[in-house]
Structure 1
Amino acid sequence: MSIEHSAMQQNMINTMSSMREQAQMGTEIRTNPHTANQDNFHTAIKQAVRRVDNHQQHASQITADVDAGRSDDLVGAMVASQKASISFQALTQVRNKVLSAYDDVLKMPL
């Protein structure tokens, strides 16, 4: 057992030494090359808003067609309307969560 403990201690000492050396060299800020091609938060929110708007416009068009007698797809109109409503509610909840998180960050002590 004492050989295992001394080997573990030596391993920990080596790890701590390398960490100390890295800390003494300073920090360097590097951009992650994998995130350079990904969309940012602004783009994601913009796309979500556009999708919700498309759902609502589609539901409005189908409902208007049913009201005008150009279509008899009442079930499709109701489903589209519910889909638009649910997507809008989900977007609203995401917005509320983001604003709540932003407020929490602002209230953090420095």
Structure 2
Amino acid sequence: MSLSIQTASSQLQHTMQIQGDMAKGLIKPSAMAQDETNPVSFSALMEQKIASVNNDQLVSDALTRAVDTGESDDLVGAMVATQKASLSFDAMMQIRNRLMQAFDDIMKMPI
């Protein structure tokens, strides 16, 4: 169990490092780095983002479980991971709601 917590923690740190570098402009996001000859498909992008949200949930669960069982005393890290997972899930749900609303609007258009 301790190995999976360390793995989850290292994955979280790696993700935070990459996002920090992206925020500083040192790394371009992969979706924006694509040129027009090789476009990113919408379904592939959505699958990637859903997998990312799922990974955030799994990391949050692992860190919370570690704190609950006493294997870790990093309560702050667990709470931050939980909030990150919650925010990413809420954002994904907002995107889904907007897509469904746009689909409904298109379906209601007269031909």
2: CA distance between counterparts of 1:87 and 1:53? 9
- 1:1-110 matches, within 5 Å, as 35-110=36-111
Tell me which amino acid in the other structure corresponds to 1:47. Answer: Q
Q: In structure 1, list runs of 5 or more residues that go unmatched.
A: 1-33
2: distance between equivalents of 1:47 and 1:36?
20
Shift of 1:36: 4.2
Partner in structure 1 of residue 10 of structure 2? none
RMSD between aligned residues: 1.0
Report runs of 4+ in structure 1 exceeding 3 Å deviation.
none
Q: What whole-Å deviation, never above 9, does each CA across 1:6-31 have from its counterpart, x for those lacking one?
A: xxxxxxxxxxxxxxxxxxxxxxxxxx
Q: TM-score, normalised by structure 2?
A: 0.66
Q: Deviations over 1:68-98 (max 9, x none)?
A: 1111000000000010001000000000000
The residue identity in structure 2 corresponding to 1:79 is V
Unpaired stretches in structure 2, ≥5 consecutive residues: 1-34
Give 1 or 2 for the bigger CA radius of gyration.
Answer: 1
Aligned position for 1:14: none
